[in-house]
Amino acid sequence: MRKTIVIALGGNAIKQADESGTAEEQFKNVQTTCRQLASMLMYGHRLVITHGNGPQAGNLLLQQEAGKEEVPPQPFDIVGAMTQGQIGYMFQQTLQNFLWEQRTPLPVISVVNQVLVSEDDPDYQDPSKPVGPFYTKEEAEKIKAERPEYVIKEVKPPSVEKRFRRVVASPDPIRNIEYLAIRKMVQTGIVVIASGGGGVPVVMDEKGCFRGTAAVIDKDKAGQRLAAVVGADVFMVLTDVDHAKVNFGTPEERDIGCATYSEMVKYAEEGHFKAGSMGPKVEACLRFIKWGGTLAIITSLDKAIGALIGQTGTRIVPDPVC
């Protein structure tokens, strides 16, 4: 049966941990990813794709800093939009090429979209998401003097010289601003790449106008909002592990196969999923099921198709109604 599937791709879909991030490396990884995505399209499913942008935004922020004597550095929200375009372009082109090779030229589009957040979100009180370059104490003090609005924190032990980093808030996504356009495109059969890097975070003023804010939205939570917008049947989080696990990293570690909503809530409450990595993925999946989704999957890219047909991966389903 044809399904609408929202896929949230992790960092390794674009850049491996040991790579510097050259265009060639990134295109090579994107090709591996798109091969899997193209197979899902061949099964007749509708795909909506979202992805992270951490390493790309980090590098672009470094470039802003390095070139600031020559070219005005761009603010955080614009850097987010630039990486949406950058990564979206790589996926769009690669996927189009694969589809063309198979003589199935489905339309593919990547959109730069904004995601609404609230300035009242508690994360603005004590921002925690490190972004951009590392600084020495002196560099951190100089930047703070130039840009008093920056929050800079010590993120490594005192023995490390470059141990300071800018931190920004990671507010909860409320909704996609461009949701109507995205929904219409998906309904007409277009493969849409959206909310990259969690989307460009914006706040709304009292007149209803939007303005970018220096924040990073978790891409899995933004992916769940996207899944709701397009009325997805399946929400799939593809990362670098093939299952979410209980007792992760201990001798009692065990893969979670199929779990009901309540079973997964219990595991989360027991603290099995780390904040900032598996935690938000599980939370996004639980939100999807609570919203009305029928299946949420956490697995690795190479297991995606197997997980879709119930052979592997962590599969979260609604509680039985009886």
Residue list 205-244, contact with ligand ADP (CB under 6 A): 239-241, 244
Q: Does 278 bind ligand ADP (CB under 6 A)?
A: yes
Judged by CB under 6 A, does residue 248 bind ligand ADP? yes
Measured over the CA atoms of residue 104, residue 234, residue 301 and residue 24, the dihedral's sign is: positive
Sign of the alpha-carbon torsion through 313, 170, 165, 155: negative
Of 176, 281, 303, 313, catalytic? 281
User: From the list Mg ion, ligand ADP, none, which binds 68 (C-beta under 5 to 8 Å, kind-based)?
Assistant: none
Asked if 290 and 228 touch (Cβ cutoff 8 Å), the reply is: no
Q: Is 54 an annotated catalytic residue?
A: no
CA distance 243 to 303: 10
Our finding on whether 129 is near ligand ADP (CB under 6 A) is: no
Has 3 been annotated as catalytic? Answer: no
State which of positions 26-65 bind ligand ADP (CB under 6 A): 52
Is 247 one of the catalytic residues? no
Rounded Cα distance between 128 and 88, Å, is 27
CA-based torsion, 293, 295, 301, 304: positive or negative:
negative
Nearest distance, CB of residue 137 and ligand ADP, angstroms: 29
Residue 151 has phi, psi (to 5 degrees) of -105, 120
The single-letter code of the amino acid at 284 is A
Stretch that binds Mg ion, among 7-15, 39-47, 158-166, 278-286 (CB under 5 A): 7-15
CB of 141 to Mg ion, least distance (A): 31
Active-site entry in 11, 54, 198, 313: 11
Using the contact rule CB under 6 A, the part of the chain among 74-82, 144-152, 203-211, 271-279 near ligand ADP is 271-279
DSSP secondary-structure letter at 16?
-
Stretch that binds Mg ion, among 11-19, 38-46, 149-157, 253-261 (CB under 5 A): 11-19
What are 264-271's contacts with CB under 8 Å, separation 24+? 264/316, 270/246
272 binds ligand ADP, rule: CB under 6 A: yes
Residue 29: Cβ within 10 Å count: 21
Which pairs from 136-141 meet CB under 8 Å and 24+ separation?
Answer: 136/161, 136/162, 136/163, 136/164, 137/163, 137/164, 139/164, 140/164
Residue 12 annotated among the catalytic residues of the structure: yes
Give least dist CB 236 to ligand ADP, A: 12
Given candidates 11, 196, 198, 280, which one binds Mg ion under the rule CB under 5 A? 11
Q: For the stretch 168-182, what's the b/e string if a residue is b when 16 or more beta carbons lie within 10 angstroms of its beta carbon?
A: bbbbbbbebbbbeeb
Does 274 interact with ligand ADP (rule: CB under 6 A)? yes
| 266 annotated active-site | no
Binding interface with ligand ADP (CB under 6 A): 10-11, 52, 239-241, 244-245, 248, 272-274, 277-278
Q: State the catalytic residues.
A: 11-12, 129, 219, 281
